[in-house]
Amino acid sequence: EAGVTQFPSHSVIEKGQTVTLRCDPISGHDNLYWYRRVMGKEIKFLLHFVKESKQDESGMPNNRFLAERTGGTYSTLKVQPAELEDSGVYFCASSQGDGRAAFFGQGTRLTVV
Amino acid sequence: AQSVTQPDIHITVSEGASLELRCNYSYGATPYLFWYVQSPGQGLQLLLKYFSGDTLVQGIKGFEAEFKRSQSSFNLRKPSVHWSDAAEYFCAHKLIFGTGTRLQVFP
């Protein structure tokens, strides 16, 4: 069974550009989460999808971040325009039940220069 | 606000020594506690979890953790560390993660 897959694994963009991160959850997992780890700090929750609906987006830092999950399958996280402080590792996770253990992807390392 | 504290940023142990990584969480009615490990270049892997029942839980790779409600703790232990255990370890309570503990193992 395939795990959670994230694309790309690395991305280097200039300040002001747009970047889109993609996450393919484990098939059949209704719950999809985005997290971010900045500069070796804690892993911070960004948002939670249940199928295609945003269950909780309280962790989204500002309106430059847009997450979608059309059709309840894969999800994208767009940063537009990117700022230097957006650099970090973005993790995606999926699970079968809310609050239960989630399976994580390998993360996308985003560097904004 | 809920929080998870991992007081040890970096721990170094010798191979074969015992290990305990500390985790404290802010009180919640229902504990959903997890330990994850991230090896270099890898994603986060679940070691073990606790929701209810026996407060001593067994995980993969020989790890165990004990839930102590009175201390709001969920410390991770391993009786004998292997060099391959060198990694970063994260404690989580529901959707909240701690800052992680980096484990270094000397031969």
Q: Which residues of A touch B98 (CB under 8 A)?
A: 42
How many domains does the structure of chain A reveal?
1
Minimal C-alpha gap between B96 and chain A (Å): 7
C-alpha distances in Å from residue A91, one per residue of A37, A54, B33, B104: 8, 17, 19, 24
Confidence of residue B52 (pLDDT cuts 50, 70, 90): confident
pLDDT at B28 over 90: no
CB contact under 8 A, B99 and A41: yes
Instruction: Give the residue from B33, B21, B27 showing the smallest Cα distance to B76.
Output: B21
User: Average pLDDT for residues B16-28, to the nearest whole number?
Assistant: 91
Minimal C-alpha gap between B69 and chain A (Å): 19
Q: Give the model's pLDDT for residue A99.
A: 57
One-letter-per-residue 3-state SS of B90-102: EEEECCEECCCEE
A15: domain CATH number is 2.60.40.10
**CATH 2.60.40.10 given to domain B4-106:** yes
Cα–Cα distance measured from residue A60 to residue A28, given in angstroms and rounded to the nearest whole number? 25
The SS3 of residue A44 is strand
CB contact under 8 A, A33 and B95: yes
Cα–Cα distance measured from residue A60 to residue A62, given in angstroms and rounded to the nearest whole number? 6
- Beta bridge pairs of residue A90: A36, A108
Residue A47: domain span = 5-96+104-112
Confidence of residue B31 (pLDDT cuts 50, 70, 90): confident
Which residue in A has a C-alpha nearest to residue B95's C-alpha? A45
- Indicate the residue type of B95: L
Interface mutation vs chain A, best among B44, B49, B89, most A CBs within 10 Å: B44
Polymer length in residues for chain A: 113
pLDDT at B37 over 90: yes
Residue B23 is encoded by which pair of tokens? 């985790």
Q: Give the model's pLDDT for residue A19.
A: 98
B22 with B99: CB under 8 angstroms?
no
Is the preceding peptide bond at B40 cis, omega within 30 degrees of 0? no
DSSP letter for each residue of B38-88 = E-TT--EEEEEEESSS-SEEE-GGG-EEEEEGGGTEEEEEESS--GGG-EE
- Indicate the residue type of B15: E
Confidence of residue B43 (pLDDT cuts 50, 70, 90): confident
Cα–Cα distance measured from residue B86 to residue B43, given in angstroms and rounded to the nearest whole number? 14
B44 close contact with A: CB closer than 8 A: yes
Instruction: Say how many C-beta atoms besides its own lie within 10 A of residue A99's C-beta.
Output: 12
Confidence of residue B34 (pLDDT cuts 50, 70, 90): very high
Q: Give the model's pLDDT for residue A101.
A: 67
A93 with A50: CB under 8 angstroms?
no
B90 close contact with A: CB closer than 8 A: yes
Q: Give the model's pLDDT for residue A1.
A: 57
For residue A107, give the nearest of B43, B90, B97 by CB distance.
B43
Confidence of residue B8 (pLDDT cuts 50, 70, 90): very high
Confidence of residue B27 (pLDDT cuts 50, 70, 90): low
B100 close contact with A: CB closer than 8 A: yes
Reading chain A (113 residues) residue by residue, the pLDDT tens digits are 578 999 999 999 999 999 999 999 999 899 999 999 987 788 999 999 999 999 999 999 999 999 999 888 999 999 999 999 999 999 999 988 755 567 889 899 999 99
B4 with B25: CB under 8 angstroms?
yes
Q: Which residues of B touch A91 (CB under 8 A)?
A: 43-44
Identify the residue with better confidence: B12 or B44. Answer: B12
Which residue in A has a C-alpha nearest to residue B35's C-alpha? A101
